[in-house]
Amino acid sequence: MITVNAMGDACPIPVIKTKKAIQKVTGAETIEVLVDNEIAVQNVTKMAQSSGGTVTSEKLAEKEFKVTIQLSGAVAKDTEAAPVTCIPDSRRNTVVVIAADHMGEGKEDLGKVLIKGFIFALTQLEELPKTILFYNGGAKITTEGSESLEDLKTLEAQGVEIMTCGTCLDYYGLKEKLQVGTVTNMYSIVETMNNADKILRP
């Protein structure tokens, strides 16, 4: 395990430190990068993915984030030569609305596989959404036991706001089991959807 402490470092320093750590890897290795803002998470993630790493991230506390990079071996020489860039957060106000713990009509087991794949696909988008809203059965996805928690934590660490309906959590008896994001109310849900540039529904 290699730890890169980039807390308090302005861009592009976190990316440069991480790239140097990646260049030293000769075999399978895990690198943990500590940063203090979502933009650094986004930029470190993009660089590590371009190097062939599998990347997850998590918000540990206010202004404290961890990016975990899993490498299977040394990176290619052409990857090492890639320029270090700092990409500002210029996302549009895209809101994803998830109202069930499955996707589509038909077999529920298949629907649960599909919604898990949908949320993973969100983590791979070039432009991440600004907010993901969960209500009704969708509230189950942000709580203990959900198979999508790791992907949601990765999205949250990159600045995606994750909001779950409090009334829905109460109804399903899950309020104490929320694992990612914050609790919201119907007024905030309506306001967020009303102000969105685009609404995406699975």
**Catalytic-residue membership of 11:** yes
For residue 65, what is the domain's CATH number? 3.30.110.40
pLDDT at 24: 87
Shared domain for 100 and 183, answered yes or no, is: yes
pLDDT tens digit sequence for 178-197: 999 999 999 999 999 999 99
Q: Do 59 and 125 sit in the same domain of this protein?
A: no
Share of the chain above pLDDT 90, in %: 77
Token pair, residue 200, equals 């995406």
| Residue of 11, 86, 165, 168 marked catalytic | 11
Chain segment 13-23, per-residue pLDDT in tens: 999 999 999 98
Nearest to 35 by CA among 8, 2, 70: 8
Q: Are residues 101 and 175 in the same domain?
A: yes
Residues 114 and 66 in one domain: no
Residue 136 is part of which domain span? 94-200
Distances (CA, A) of 85 to 11, 27, 108, 177: 9, 26, 43, 39
Q: What is the pLDDT of residues 107-128, one digit of tens each?
A: 999 999 999 999 999 998 888 9
Has residue 138 got a pLDDT over 90? yes
Average predicted confidence (pLDDT) for the chain: 91
The region that residue 178 occupies, defined by phi over 0 for left and psi between -120 and 50 for alpha, beta otherwise, is: beta
Stretch 135-152: mean pLDDT, rounded?
97
Domain membership of residue 106 (yes or no) is yes
94: confidence class by pLDDT, cuts 50, 70, 90 = very high
Which one has a higher pLDDT value, 84 or 98? 98
Q: Give the lowest-confidence range in 48-52, 150-154, 166-170.
A: 48-52
In the predicted model, is pLDDT for residue 32 greater than 90?
A: yes
The stretch 71-80 carries a mean pLDDT of: 66
